[in-house]
Amino acid sequence: MTEPKSPNNDVWRPHVTVACVVADRDRYLMVEEEVGGCVAYNQPAGHLDDFESLQHAAVRETREETGWTVALTHLIGVHQWRSKEHGDVVVRFTFAAKPLSHDPHQPLDTGVRRALWMTREDIAGLGERLRSPMILMSIDDWLAGQRLPLSVIANLMPSGGMP
């Protein structure tokens, strides 16, 4: 079987991303960021880097975007979506994480304006300002008790996938 080609003749590949639902009682860690000149809201999330494990990427992205160090507790789910922002397919691995410590002096990623804690109702009220529908979907999955053990993700990367 031949791999599908994109319009520019490259092999098609989805964007592989990670995200964390970080809960503190009834509040969730969110990121306010500037995307294409507009303010958008997202969970701590980002792309998987080459030679990096999914788990390491989720912890790294959370720290880089919020200043929070977290410990992953579960895999909530894997979601597939076509981004309105760039039109490409995104495959997102969403983890549950507990907050451990915060470094208020940590420089945040380019485009991130601030990290904030919000209730589910506040997040739902953001409507079109949410970067993707996966944000509420993953919070609702977590609230419904959807939790898979981290061991369902086999990591065959050298050194455990840590760059």
d(Cα 125, Cα 82) in Å, to the nearest integer?
22
Domain that holds residue 109: 16-143
Which CATH number does the domain housing residue 121 bear?
A: 3.90.79.10
pLDDT of residue 42: 96
Half-sphere exposure of 100 (CA within 13 A, CB side): 10
pLDDT of residue 10: 74
pTM of the model: 0.87
Domain presence at residue 48: yes
Give the pLDDT of the chain (163 residues) as one tens digit per residue: 444 445 555 777 778 999 999 999 999 999 999 988 899 999 999 999 988 999 999 999 999 999 999 999 999 999 987 766 655 788 999 999 999 999 999 999 999 999 999 999 999 999 999 999 999 999 999 999 999 999 999 887 776 666 5
Domain presence at residue 109: yes
Tokens coding 52: 């990096």
CA-to-CA dists, residue 146 to 137, 140, 142, angstroms: 11, 9, 5
Domain presence at residue 113: yes
Domain presence at residue 149: no
Tokens coding 20: 């964390």
Domain presence at residue 156: no
Domain presence at residue 152: no
pLDDT of residue 14: 77
Domain presence at residue 1: no
Q: How many domains are there within the chain?
A: 1
Domain presence at residue 61: yes
